[in-house]
Structure 1
Amino acid sequence: MSSENQCRFTARLRNVRHLAAVIKSIHFKDIATCRISPDGLTFILEESRCLFGRCLIQKQIFEDFNFMPPMTDGAPLNSESQQEPRFVSQSGSQHGSNQYYSQRMPPGYSPDGTANFGINLATLLSCLNMFGTAGSSSIYTGDGTGGAIGGSLNSGPVTAIKLSYNGTGTTFNLTLEDDGVVTTCGIPTFDPEPPVDFEFNEENHSKIIMKAQWLEEGLRDLDATSDRVVIRLSPDIPHLRISSLGTIENLDVNYSQGDVIETFVYQYNRPIEISYNFSHVLNVLRVCPMATKANMAIDSKDFMRIQFLLPVVEHKYLFAEYSFSPLEALD
């Protein structure tokens, strides 16, 4: 492929921990798809069409972010106005609303010009921790008004990083700098896995927003040996019940609006119960300790999506998301 048909991407981040933390939050398997768009970087994972993970590092997180989509045989379309990213669509191909190119894209690119490639997350995380500074937590855990509750963003040594990618067939390059010492890693990329045709119904769903801490504590109180977890939603108290079905006993955790639930949107006048693979749902425990908010939504086909807000500094956030297919109806 000629160089003019390749994308050009470079980005700089002052603290490598931010990138490492959000990738770790969805790292339930090694092989992932990385998607680079004008809005930022997205990493996407999928397991057996039942479990989906996604994280977004918006371009606003970076000190410097430059992405040039590849050229086609036609001229690029209008890309003057860009909306803020919307981290709500499972497809992930558009975080905003712009279409940049109408002509056919080269292999490895979406119709809108975003770059897509496969990458090994274990290798990526190992490279990010080259100086041993990516493992400790530095996620800002403030209360949203700037007052820090937990650790400091600048605690411990800080490693800066530059990312670059030159298109299909090239390596994903990391240049890390720590106290004047510079090292460069080139991670092989490969053709991404075919995308799964899954789209969450944004127009018809129930929604629950609570502190991530409450969701984490509830899940840890259940029987982790259970093969399924049951989510019960009701217009009456308790509005949300999460139950594990064990071989000896069933355990329940109840949540109600005004007590733990901050926002409750429910579209039915009767309770519903939906079961999910509990081992899949427990993956959210990777992200809960770093997140402040959990947004749980269940659509009309019983697909469940939980989005997490990870504050970095005041008014800047990372986003992580898990989605789950329902199991068969309970007997």
Structure 2
Amino acid sequence: CSLFLNYKRQKFRFSCLCHAEIFQEFAVQEKSVMFWINLSVLDCLTIFGTSSLPGTSTALRMCYRGYGYPLMLFLEEGGVVTVCKINTQEPDELLDFDFCSKNVVNKIILQSEGLREAFAELDMTSEVLQITMSPDKPYFRLSTFGNAGSAHLDYPRDSDLMETFHCNQTQTNRYKISLLKPSTKALALSCKVSIRTDTRGFLSLQYMIRNEDGQICFVEYYCCPDEDIAEAEL
């Protein structure tokens, strides 16, 4: 099962890749089903399934009858069922970042705890997040340039948070924080994150999420470097 969230005219793509085994019940009649929904509607669903009662969990059932029909969500919590109907839209062509493994220059796997701490400590009034990956010092550096000035956070290659470090050349690229923020929700749920860059400086963030039953799914996030910054440096 692949769920794609694409923003029109924005230069990033957010996708969730799940195996059928992660669901208690999974039945898809057609080989591929694709549609768009308004993300602002999903934000409204946060009023459901947020009980703080111990031992209470929320079950979700998703149903879709086909082209032209709404997406049906059934949320059950503590014996109470909420039914949501979300209108679907005609999908445009998916953004293709042509991000191939053979073009990957640098790759690290980091425990998500390290990236969560970075997002909490760095100055998010900055418009961009600068990422430096290098076979030499500083190895892996995150930088912001906000109202309080420049801030840098370095991770040595032998850090306890670093699980894999494969850097072939020094790369420094900047990415708009406004485009990266949607991925922080997946970051909060993940246990590991794979960070890759290709020859063009395109960024791939792959979050590994383990559910309560120990099953694993992945959320992948792609973002292009800030072209305004790159042109200004030419």
Same fold per superposition (TM over 0.5):
yes
User: Which whole-Å CA distance do the structure 1 matches of 2:226 and 2:220 have between them?
Assistant: 19
The equivalent of 2:117 in structure 1 is 217
Q: Tell me if structure 1 keeps the 8 A contact 2:131–2:143.
A: yes
The equivalent of 1:114 in structure 2 is 32
* Residue identity (%): 29
Match of 2:67, SS state, is coil
2:165 pairs with one of 264, 277, 290: 264
1:200 pairs with one of 99, 116, 119: 99
Structure 2 gap ranges (5+): none
- Can you list the C-alpha shifts for 1:227-256, whole angstroms capped at 9, x where unaligned? 222211111132111111236632111011
Aligned-pair CA distance for 1:180:
4.3
2:10 paired with 1:49:
yes
* 1:223-238 equivalent positions in 2, closer than 5 A: 223-238=123-138
Q: Tell me if structure 2 keeps the 8 A contact 1:219–1:282.
A: no
User: Which whole-Å CA distance do the structure 2 matches of 1:127 and 1:59 have between them?
Assistant: 24
Larger Rg: 1
Match of 1:320, SS state, is strand
Match of 1:117, SS state, is coil
Q: Tell me if structure 1 keeps the 8 A contact 2:205–2:222.
A: yes
Specify which structure has the higher proportion of helix. Answer: 2
C-alpha distance 258-136 of structure 1, shift in aligned 2 (>3 A): farther
C-alpha distance 183-306 of structure 1, shift in aligned 2 (>3 A): closer
The equivalent of 1:36 in structure 2 is none
User: Which whole-Å CA distance do the structure 2 matches of 1:63 and 1:163 have between them?
Assistant: 12
- TM-score, length-scaled by structure 1: 0.62
2:154 pairs with one of 242, 254, 261: 254
Q: Tell me if structure 2 keeps the 8 A contact 1:49–1:196.
A: no
The alignment yields a C-alpha RMSD, in angstroms, of: 2.5
Paired residues, what number? 228
- Can you list the C-alpha shifts for 1:178-210, whole angstroms capped at 9, x where unaligned? 444445333221211332232212112111111
- Can you list the C-alpha shifts for 1:98-155, whole angstroms capped at 9, x where unaligned? xxxxxxxxxxxxxxx41111112343454575xx3x2359xxxxxxxxxxxxxxxx94
User: Which whole-Å CA distance do the structure 1 matches of 2:201 and 2:99 have between them?
Assistant: 10
C-alpha distance 164-207 of structure 1, shift in aligned 2 (>3 A): same
2:90 paired with 1:188:
no
- Can you list the C-alpha shifts for 1:234-290, whole angstroms capped at 9, x where unaligned? 11132111111236632111011121321011222xx22111112323443323222
* 1:157-168 equivalent positions in 2, closer than 5 A: 157-168=56-67
C-alpha distance 261-123 of structure 1, shift in aligned 2 (>3 A): same
2:26 pairs with one of 60, 65, 85: 65
Aligned-pair CA distance for 1:326:
0.6
User: Which whole-Å CA distance do the structure 2 matches of 1:125 and 1:165 have between them?
Assistant: 20
C-alpha distance 164-281 of structure 1, shift in aligned 2 (>3 A): closer
- TM-score, length-scaled by structure 2: 0.85
Farther off after superposition, 204-213 or 223-232: 223-232
Aligned-pair CA distance for 1:321:
2.3
One-letter amino acid matched to 2:178: S
2:50 paired with 1:135:
yes
One-letter amino acid matched to 1:307: Q
Aligned-pair CA distance for 1:318:
3.0
User: Which whole-Å CA distance do the structure 2 matches of 1:183 and 1:315 have between them?
Assistant: 27
C-alpha distance 208-49 of structure 1, shift in aligned 2 (>3 A): same
Q: Tell me if structure 1 keeps the 8 A contact 2:5–2:13.
A: yes
2:205 paired with 1:306:
yes
Structure 1 gap ranges (5+): 1-39, 70-112, 138-153
The equivalent of 2:225 in structure 1 is 326
- Can you list the C-alpha shifts for 1:58-83, whole angstroms capped at 9, x where unaligned? 321111111111xxxxxxxxxxxxxx
